Structure 1
Amino acid sequence: MTSIYVLEAHQKKGVGLSLMKAMAEAFISNDYDSVTLWVLENNLAARSFYDALHGKVVDRHESKEEDVAINELAYGWSDLHKIL
């Protein structure tokens, strides 16, 4: 999967949390204990959501698309149980 987005009409209703918990449970059941995902740096709502789930910024990446800078942050969880 390369990206996922919860439509604004469905935000703040537990959809994102349910998706994150399902992801954590699936990874844990397959013997993974950590995960990293990327988010646009200017997506403050998503960043706040990941911060609330105890994610930590672990990397930053800048790319250009048609001369427009795209800045992304990597959020990581070294213990997926923190999401549950």
Structure 2
Amino acid sequence: MTDITVSSIKEVSLRRATVDDAEAIAAVRVESWQATYRGMIPDNYLDEMRIEDSMLQWRQILQAMSQAEDRICVYVAESEGHIIGFASGMMLPEPKLGMQAELTAVYLRPAWQRSGIGRRMVQKVARTLQAQGAESLLVWVISGNSIARNFYEELGGTLLIEQAFSWDGMDLMEVGYGWRDLSVLMASVNAMRTSASLH
């Protein structure tokens, strides 16, 4: 991939995902996991991840979304016709840790990380959930993922809990961050975008 420039970042567009995006979303997820979670998740698990398996899962999610757009949203980030990232969120059936909605995924191809696109995607999902009635938002992060933790802390997220969980046969630790007022998240994103534009 060519070097990422300010102009290329500005040309990235966000749109609602469709079922046809399942394979591209799966590819981003696998690439991002394999680059991000080394040392946090066993290498053999990461090495065995397959786009085909993830694609089936995302096809189901996107099909469900088409029937429940008032509760689930998935957005993709596109550059020159290629999907470089995605983010998803959902209204929770009942509040969890006092939060009404959850940011369920934010992933970018490694070359596009720390470009500001992640913030834009988070804001897009948060605005959609806010329009659906959410006033608060929860996100889960693997405890050892310091980059993601710093990202959410910079966006005004408050550490709510740290707990053990079992996932696909692995025992891991996770932390939950939350925004009790989504306007705090929106203000943080806008402030960071303004600061970035001044440099």
Equivalent residue in structure 2 for 1:72, among 174, 178, 185: 174
Q: Distance in 1 between matches of 2:128 and 2:157?
A: 18
Segments of 5+ residues of structure 2 without an aligned counterpart are 1-87, 89-103, 187-199
Matches of 1:6 and 1:20, distance apart in 2: 12
- What SS does structure 2 have at the residue aligned with 1:20? helix
Q: Does 2:113 correspond to 1:11?
A: yes
Describe the SS at the equivalent of 1:48: helix
TM-score normalised by structure 1 residue count: 0.86
Shift of 1:5: 2.0
Residue number among 163, 171, 174 corresponding to 1:61 in the alignment:
163
- 2:133 maps to 31
* Fraction of identical pairs, as percent: 28
Task: Give the Cα–Cα distance (whole angstroms) in 1 for the partners of residues 105 and 126 of structure 2.
Answer: 16
Give SS of 1:4's match. strand
Q: Which amino acid aligns with 2:174?
A: E
Tell me the alpha carbon deviations over residues 12-31 of structure 1, each in whole angstroms, 9 at most, x when there is no partner: 11111011100110111111
Aligned residues: 83
Q: Cα RMSD over matched residues?
A: 1.6
How far did 1:64 drift? 4.0
- TM-score normalised by structure 2 residue count: 0.39
The structure number with the bigger radius of gyration is: 2
